[in-house]
Amino acid sequence: EPEVTQTPSHQVTQMGQEVILRCVPISNHLYFYWYRQILGQKVEFLVSFYNNEISEKSEIFDDQFSVERPDGSNFTLKIRSTKLEDSAMYFCASSTLVGSGYTFGSGTRLTVV
Amino acid sequence: AQSVTQLDSQVPVFEEAPVELRCNYSSSVSVYLFWYVQYPNQGLQLLLKYLSGSTLVKGINGFEAEFNKSQTSFHLRKPSVHISDTAEYFCAVSGTGGFKTIFGAGTRLFVKA
């Protein structure tokens, strides 16, 4: 069964450093997403991406965040200057259509120290 | 905007007993509804979805859910649970015209032998 692949599974970074989280969505999916889950809290929407541009973003997704699809397979989330409160599990997801339901990756646990 | 309320944070149940996990939503527009399951240290997996049509939807692993528009509910049920069903279950909603999905806080199902 096709799956969404995320790397790394765990990343530790110092406050103020830049991090890039990587995702390989399912190849025939058209819509891509990043969500995060702070420990013990809800799964929160960050951003959706379609047709090589951001289609929707949340208030969490400020200027410190950016997404890119640099080639036909990768989808990345960059955090420019990490803060302690960015520590969370970050999930990438993809879907064929809006409303079709997501396929999630296993997540990257980001720890900012 | 949409919101989701999962009425129980934890549900303990004995193996082979039936279970219902409750979910209520609010939205000013038509919605799609989803249930996802998250096993420890894994991403979220789509259990089932309601897009339109029959209000009773069947998903994987013997789960089903019923969409009740008048009560704005989408409760998840299984007639007989297994130990392996122990996991966190998330109800989610998206507007039919939007890109993002809003997740509930989750219900931890704990199946006891």
Q: Does B63 touch chain A (CB under 8 A)?
A: no
| Sign of CA pseudo-dihedral B73, B78, B84, B86 | positive
Residues A52-68: pLDDT tens digits? 999 999 999 999 999 99
HSE, side-chain direction, 13 A CA sphere, residue B73 = 14
Does A101 sit within 8 Å of B34, measured CB to CB? yes
Q: Which two tokens stand for residue A62?
A: 């400020």
Please state, as a whole number, how many other Cβ atoms lie within 10 Å of the Cβ of residue A64: 14
Residues A58-110: pLDDT tens digits? 999 999 999 999 887 899 999 999 999 999 999 999 999 877 889 999 999 99
Nearest C-alpha neighbor of A70 from the set A5, A6, A37, A23: A23
Please state, as a whole number, how many other Cβ atoms lie within 10 Å of the Cβ of residue B70: 5
Q: Does B103 touch chain A (CB under 8 A)?
A: yes
